[in-house]
Structure 1
Amino acid sequence: MPKPFAFVRVASVRARTTVFATAVVAVALVITGLAVVLLLRTSLDRQSDLQAEVTAREVASELAAGVPYAQLDVPDGDEHPVQVVDSSGRVVAAGEDLSAISGVDSPAVKPISPPANPTASPSPQDDDDDDRDEDTPQRGEVSGDVRRSTGSATVDGETADYRFASIEVTTPSGETLTVHAGTALATARQAVGTVTQAMLVGLPLLLAVVAGVTWLVTRRALRPVAAIRTELAEITASSDLTRRVPVPASRDEVAGLATATNETLAALERSVERQRGFVADASHELRNPIASLRTELEVAAAHPELLDLDGLTTEVVRLQHLAADLLLLARLDAGEQSVRPKPVALADLLREEVERRESADRLPIGIEIKAAPQVLGSRDRLARALGNLLDNAQRHASSQVNVTLWEDGDQWVVMDITDDGPGVPPDDRERIFERFVRLDDARSRDEGGAGLGLAIARDLLRVQGGTLTVEAAPGGGALFRMRLPLRNARTEDHGRA
């Protein structure tokens, strides 16, 4: 059984947008239409009341001036029926074709009967003016009050609805009369009906136009999104990360989405290339010690007297360290954070690391501690990073390595590690922190290692909120600067977060 159109592909943004826009326009049009009809009806009713009042006042003014009943300028026809009654409800004057009026705000109206002397003026009244009601106008005056009502009148044998205005008037002779004047409602109701029908016919047509235009405009607006989705699907299927999604010429949100998508693809491409290079370099670095071990073992198997246990042990230890470094880098790449940070005294950590190295046959290390700060982090990982930096400095120094610990303001603690070696060329000061990178004077396996020490040190410091840079030392050589946030500053940052 087919589903209704409104429920077809309800998950489509285009369908939801079209339905929502059409519904909003429909509600707005209905409210506007009702307001227009009400305003039109109110305006026509006011106009009818005004016309009826003007007609009633014209006749009342003539009566106030003493015009006889027979000479009153009473409108004929069915547009403005007029009837004049006295205080007892007797009709004393009316339009020529008017037969009866009902529904007006006055005493019951008796059938129309001409007065005994239609040409005579109203007879004087014996009532004293002081006995009149307060609302009754004085002699020769027209009341300022108007009573409005909706009723019907029979004119020339046809009954229709009218809007009546009733005004009291006192003749110069003292007789109080009521003038009823009406305005036909047929024209006003016909106008309101015509406008209502026009709206009922035009509303569905306008909604159809709105729905169609919204559907087309939304399709055009979402066309770049469809192109982006198609291209992403093809990139996923082909695994070709060099491709990019099309960026529309318009500077809108879709263009921003395409740009962000391309930036993500570029970052993903760099990450994949880095991972591929890492795997290739790791395979290369592992292949050498494994091949060396195999060779020595094969020689030992053929000639046991040539077995070099010390050499085998050295190769196994080197292979073990390389595997540990690769495992650590893999964990850092996977986003593994350090253990729960604890306060670490860098001065004590530096002294322990230097004392541990004094027993080895290495270049001496001079330390200068200008401050005794504490940082939050992992003591083991900070020791690993410091050890890698000291290893690198001792490997390249000519005679001396110096370490200075100091505070930079109230936010950072800085540790400078300098050597008197050849230094690092400016073009290589970022490249040496890449993995498996060894400069020309450190490419030998014994001296240069695997090229992972500096990369591991920077990654370990970065995970703990620090940085690692290299520059030229003041007296020549290289200066590696390690910066870490102070414990208090880091606590304040977490508190603000």
Structure 2
Amino acid sequence: MGSVLGSVRARAAAGATVVVALALIAAGTAVLLVLRDNLQDQAGLQAQVAARSVAEQIATGKPYDELDLPDGDDRPVVVAAEDGRVLAVGEDVRAVDGKRVAKTPQGAGSVTPPAEDDDDDERGLNPGEVDDEVVYRDGTADVDGTVADYRFAVVEAKDTRGEQATVRAGSALAPERDAVGSVQDAMLIGLPLLLVVVAGVTWLVTRRALRPVEGIRGEMAAITASTDLSRRVPVPSSKDEIGRLARTTNETLAALESSVERQRRFVADASHELRSPIASLRTQLEVGVAHPELLDVPGAVEDTVRLQRLAADLLLLARLDAGERPADARVDLAAMVREESSQRVADRIPVRTGELAGAEVAGSRSQLGRVLGNLLDNAQRHAVSSVRVAVVREGEWTVLRVEDDGPGVPESERERIFERFVRLDDARARDDGGAGLGLAIARDVAVRHGGSLAVRTGSVFELRLPVAG
């Protein structure tokens, strides 16, 4: 069991670690993407500011040779004419996207002009104007022999003479990539450490949470080894699932203890009840063997019948205890009462019938017949001069009542008489050899059929069963 708990802790820790890892990976990826986009936007904004600054100088008519250009290391700038001639270039800028951009005094240098948008002609810039639209592109620039990646902003402008120029200013992407790389490295270092912490905490928390379960397991193992069902598992003070498990386990142990004790009493009582007829029968047979003329055949037959009935009762109780479900047949209680009453011609007191309402119940015809027979036998043993049976309908219930005019059952004994092998030692107990199982069998059958059996008044037994359908 310890290995099972260890497995539970390991699975809980592994599951929590996997979930946290997936969540952190997703969150880290999102953070890196957002950070990269923001830094690229920031680089583009810086490039735009540089490009517009140069474009505004061009729009004011400042000569290209006198343009105030940013330092090439930070903001490489190239100013080109519509035909690709390089009009101005930042200090130490040698090439853009692999194309040399060195400017000659005669303006002979050239660069591939940026691709034009379809609506370039529609913008129609006037002399001295700067285009509001900015185009962003990623590319490379060679500044003083060092090639690096840049975010370029492209802005169109017209000088005062009407000549259109394209200003292309870049902002280095290296800082952005360095920042993203630093964050990524920090995540790669921190993620395993965090996962170790999560796994460790989950392991400890799960271990603490399962400690009461180990206590329950240990006590159950001790109960199994000692077969002492009076012991109970420890109940933690918490009101969580483990606390409910402990309480349910104790309730199960209590029910099991009660069942085992009941079974022990049943075996002991059954052995006692069987001993008498068997001993009597053996004595009579031994006397008959030694002295055939003294053999009491009627007595032997009576003991044999009593033994047979007792065995049948014990077998039925065993089947009921095993959970045997009754048949799902339709039984007409009124017809069953008429049939049973007509067959009891040898009874000490004739059975009278009262109201017999037609109502069917679902169940076993033989078992319900056994209940009626046991109730009538009980009434016959205790009646003075009258036994009456009736069937009535009360809503969704069919009620069978058996009544006699005997002294009645004391209120304090109305539940005890349904226990097995119980016979009252009072004036009502003119028992003719019964083992005290008839009423116990009757109640068990009633409960198995979804109904009840009880003493409503001193001498009225009431069987209630649900109407079929």
| TM-score, normalization by structure 1 | 0.85
Which amino acid counterpart does residue 85 of structure 2 have in structure 1?
A: R
Which amino acid counterpart does residue 25 of structure 2 have in structure 1?
A: V
Partner of 1:461: 446
1:393-412 matches, cutoff 5 A: 393-409=379-395, 411-412=396-397
- Rounded Cα–Cα distance in structure 2 between residues aligned with 1:481 and 1:354: 17
Partner of 1:390: 376
Query: How many residues were matched structurally?
Result: 455
- The reply to whether residue 326 of structure 1 matches residue 311 of structure 2 is no
- The reply to whether residue 480 of structure 1 matches residue 465 of structure 2 is no
Partner of 1:494: none
- The reply to whether residue 367 of structure 1 matches residue 353 of structure 2 is yes
Partner of 1:111: 102
> Among 403, 411, 419, which residue is 1:426 paired with?
411
Alignment check: 8 A CA contact 1:89 1:109 kept: no
1:45-56 matches, cutoff 5 A: 45-56=40-51
Distance apart, 1:57 and its partner CA: 0.7
Alignment check: 8 A CA contact 1:341 1:376 kept: yes
- The reply to whether residue 102 of structure 1 matches residue 88 of structure 2 is no
Partner of 2:15: 20
Partner of 2:116: none
Distance apart, 1:453 and its partner CA: 0.6
After TM superposition, the runs of 4+ consecutive aligned structure 1 residues lying more than 6 A away are 8-11, 442-445
User: What secondary structure sits across from 1:441 in the alignment?
Assistant: coil
Alignment check: 8 A CA contact 2:334 2:356 kept: no
- The reply to whether residue 194 of structure 1 matches residue 174 of structure 2 is no
- The reply to whether residue 148 of structure 1 matches residue 142 of structure 2 is no
User: What secondary structure sits across from 2:357 in the alignment?
Assistant: coil
Alignment check: 8 A CA contact 2:389 2:400 kept: yes
User: What secondary structure sits across from 1:100 in the alignment?
Assistant: strand
User: What secondary structure sits across from 2:426 in the alignment?
Assistant: helix
Change (3 A) 1:294 1:442: farther
- The reply to whether residue 259 of structure 1 matches residue 247 of structure 2 is yes
User: What secondary structure sits across from 1:88 in the alignment?
Assistant: coil
Q: Which stretch shows the higher mean deviation, 44-53 or 300-309?
A: 300-309
- Rounded Cα–Cα distance in structure 2 between residues aligned with 1:239 and 1:442: 42
Partner of 2:39: 44
Partner of 1:123: none
Alignment check: 8 A CA contact 2:76 2:93 kept: no
Which amino acid counterpart does residue 225 of structure 1 have in structure 2?
A: V
- Rounded Cα–Cα distance in structure 1 between residues aligned with 2:439 and 2:427: 13
- Rounded Cα–Cα distance in structure 2 between residues aligned with 1:272 and 1:164: 89
Q: Which stretch shows the higher mean deviation, 282-291 or 434-443?
A: 434-443
Distance apart, 1:110 and its partner CA: 4.2
Alignment check: 8 A CA contact 1:84 1:92 kept: yes
User: What secondary structure sits across from 2:122 in the alignment?
Assistant: coil
User: What secondary structure sits across from 1:12 in the alignment?
Assistant: helix
- Rounded Cα–Cα distance in structure 2 between residues aligned with 1:142 and 1:101: 25
Which amino acid counterpart does residue 344 of structure 1 have in structure 2?
A: V
Change (3 A) 1:156 1:432: same
Partner of 2:117: none
Distance apart, 1:464 and its partner CA: 2.6
Partner of 2:59: 64
Partner of 1:345: 332
Partner of 2:122: 134
User: What secondary structure sits across from 2:242 in the alignment?
Assistant: helix
> Among 338, 356, 366, which residue is 2:343 paired with?
356
Alignment check: 8 A CA contact 2:86 2:102 kept: yes
1:483-494 matches, cutoff 5 A: 483-487=464-468, 489=469
User: What secondary structure sits across from 2:253 in the alignment?
Assistant: helix
Change (3 A) 1:9 1:156: farther
Partner of 1:5: none
Q: What's the C-alpha RMSD, in Å, of the aligned pairs?
A: 2.4
Which amino acid counterpart does residue 449 of structure 2 have in structure 1?
A: Q
Which residues of structure 2 form unaligned runs of 5+?
A: 108-119
Partner of 1:269: 257
Change (3 A) 1:9 1:366: closer
Distance apart, 1:261 and its partner CA: 1.5
> Among 148, 153, 169, which residue is 1:160 paired with?
148
- Rounded Cα–Cα distance in structure 1 between residues aligned with 2:433 and 2:404: 16
Change (3 A) 1:485 1:134: closer
* Deviations, residues 201-249 of structure 1 (Å, cap 9, x unaligned): 1111111111111222222222222222222122112111111122222
Change (3 A) 1:67 1:37: same
Change (3 A) 1:484 1:63: same
- Rounded Cα–Cα distance in structure 2 between residues aligned with 1:283 and 1:133: 115
Distance apart, 1:377 and its partner CA: 2.3
* Deviations, residues 435-468 of structure 1 (Å, cap 9, x unaligned): 0011122796844621111011112222233321
Which amino acid counterpart does residue 485 of structure 1 have in structure 2?
A: P
Alignment check: 8 A CA contact 1:373 1:413 kept: yes
* Deviations, residues 459-487 of structure 1 (Å, cap 9, x unaligned): 22222333211121xxxx41111112222
- The reply to whether residue 245 of structure 1 matches residue 246 of structure 2 is no
Alignment check: 8 A CA contact 2:399 2:463 kept: yes
Distance apart, 1:83 and its partner CA: 2.4
Alignment check: 8 A CA contact 2:89 2:102 kept: no
Partner of 1:93: 88
- Rounded Cα–Cα distance in structure 2 between residues aligned with 1:448 and 1:426: 24
* Deviations, residues 278-315 of structure 1 (Å, cap 9, x unaligned): 00111111122223333444555555544332222222
Change (3 A) 1:273 1:386: same
Partner of 1:378: 364
Distance apart, 1:273 and its partner CA: 0.5
> Among 413, 416, 420, which residue is 1:435 paired with?
420
